[in-house]
Structure 1
Amino acid sequence: MFVAIINDCRDADEMGRQTIRASVLFPGTNINFLGVGNFNEIEAAGLLVDSIDAAMDSDGVIMVNAAPRHGSGKDWDNGTPFGYFKLNNIIVVSTIAGMTLSLVKKLGCIDRLNLTDLSTVIDHCINIGKFDKDRRDRTVFSQFRSFEYMPFLAKWLHEGQDIPHKEMSLDELSDPPKTIWWVDNFGNVKTTLLPEEIDFEPGKKITTKVGVFTCYNRLKDVPNGDAAITIGSSGYKDKRFIEITINGRSAAKEFNLHSGMELF
């Protein structure tokens, strides 16, 4: 079994506390922490897809949190609610607002989303003896719900507990913009676009908001120092996102690219 945590709460203290708690709730499990930028839902969206793909349908839990309290976060009592869905042997627990689930929707990784209400779930689990009553208010009113609530919800779901929920229409989930979702350590830029969305053909030139790029199937095919669009490694099954790259240099530095930047 594996546990993956994708979270914008990622400093040493926050990461350490989340990892320790997950190791206690899922003993003997391989735990991976993947940090994203502050409030960066599109980075979380891409890492969720890549984590699902990496798991190869094996038994596991993925927990995702990108939940600002400002702006749209004011629409709820204490930030965006958490929902969950299942894909084969994988349970995904995630905040539901913004772009966080946009790419699993796009790639067909989700066919049903169940929405939870934090206080309702906690009260239910207190009543059935699965949660300490003395922890209730600290959990319900916590500003760190991905520490106090999300891992417990994931554990209960993995154990097969019946959790109060209501189904949320997938039509309510945002569609992803035509944007950058990640810049890797080499400066290669991962996008939310699939090859067919830009009529990708080797040798074809594609005009974007940041420049004109020639299409190549693989990074190996790109001439040294040339900027290009390639079919990258990220995605789910046979659906792989295109990337902007420069062979031997950082495309992100060359074109001043960053996650969230729209390309078309």
Structure 2
Amino acid sequence: MSNPPVISLTDCTDPNAVARQSARLATLFGSTPTVLPLCGADPEGTAALTLLDVLRSTELLGAAGEPTVILVNIAPRDGHWPNGVPFCYFRVREHLVVSTLNPRVLAPLRRYLGVEAVEVTDVREVLEAAAAGWARFTPAQVDEIARTQFRSLWYVPLLARWLVDGRPVPSVARAVEGPAEPSRIRVAVVDNFGNCKLDAPAEQLPGYAAGGAVPVLDRESGAAREVPCYPRLVDVPRGEPGIVTGSSGYGFAELVVRGGSAARAFGLREGDTLAHAAQSEAVLVA
């Protein structure tokens, strides 16, 4: 596996950042990477569902398939690390994932794919090991890369290349943190149709059952609307809202309006939560 396909999920979304990362990855791997900028209101939540979906999409191939390299650069919004959160790596089946150590992004992989631990790296330690072993870096160059704040450009592509090549990258194992189940269900992705992809299976929503309904807050009126549940989008009456089992995750729910935009109809965006009221109801709130 000398030049596997590379997919990068990143919150560095401007054209300049994307161009630089694409050029560096292409140079290191000899193939054109796929760089997916995540620039919505909640990049952590979007990255969590997207990473799960990317790995999910490598299943059910009817054959072994090819290994891939997946890079994730989404720093926690409440981080307090000296020069940014560290990067870790792990494998899901034959696929290599290099990611920022972000509990919210990684927790779904523990819940749904059984990723219990990751290997955490220290930038300077890895660079010094590389310079002493297999890479031609001067001490000044090691220091330059270790001190930069754009580590997703200068460090992560190197780390991924060295792991693919089987280099002895120093790391420390660390358990994946995060609750066994999310305390609140959020809108993780608003797709181009305005469907609101939630970050939990439909069966976890209170009221989701044949003929059931879920209360959803209509932000324009301020009142909760009872949204019926359906098995699929095609079962929702045209022009009406519904909660369905969508295409993401493992049976994850979606709020839809057939032939319209659920996000526009309810005033929703990524990161809005499905909060529990009185332990028995659920309404979508910001």
Deviations 1:216-254 (A, max 9, x none): 11111110011111111111xxx1211000001110011
Match of 2:124 in 1: 119
Q: 1:34 maps to which residue?
A: 36
Pairwise CA distance, 1:207: 2.2
2:53 matches 1:50 = yes
- Between the two proteins, the alignment pairs up a number of residues equal to 256
Instruction: Give yes or no for contact 1:97–1:173 (8 Å, CA) kept in 2.
Output: no
Task: Identify the residue that residue 108 of structure 1 maps to in structure 2.
Answer: 113
In 2: Cα distance, 1:245 partner to 1:53 partner: 22
Q: Which residue of 2 aligns with 1:186?
A: 193
Aligned to 1:65: 73
Alpha-carbon RMSD: 1.9
Counterpart in the other structure of 1:255 = 266
Instruction: Name the SS for the 2:98 alignment partner.
Output: strand
Higher deviation after alignment, 191-200 or 221-230: 191-200
* Amino acid in the other structure paired with 2:68: G
The C-alpha deviation readout for 1:2-21, integer Å capped at 9, x for no partner, is 21100000110001111111
**Between the two proteins, what is the percent identity of the paired residues?**
33
Deviations for 1:82-134, whole angstroms, at most 9, x for unmatched residues? 11110111000101134121221221251321111111111111111225224
Contact 2:196 2:263 in 1 (8 A): yes
- In structure 1, runs of 5+ residues without a counterpart are none
> How does 1:1-264 map onto structure 2 within 5 Å?
1-28=4-31, 30-37=32-39, 40-56=43-59, 58-67=66-75, 72-73=78-79, 75-133=80-138, 134-170=140-176, 172-173=177-178, 176=182, 177-198=184-205, 200-209=208-217, 211-235=225-249, 239-264=250-275
CA contact (8 A) 1:45 1:101 kept: yes
The unaligned stretches of length 5 or more in structure 2 are 60-64, 219-224, 276-286
Deviates more, 1:143-152 or 1:174-183: 174-183
1:35-67 CA distances to partner (integer Å, 9 max, x unpaired)?
Answer: 112772111111111111223363010000112
- Cα distance change on mapping 1:17 and 1:217 into 2, 3 Å: same
Partner of 1:55, secondary structure, is coil
CA–CA distance in 1 between the matches of 2:251 and 2:36? Answer: 20
Opposite residue 142 of structure 1, the aligned amino acid is: T
- TM score, norm. by length of structure 1: 0.90
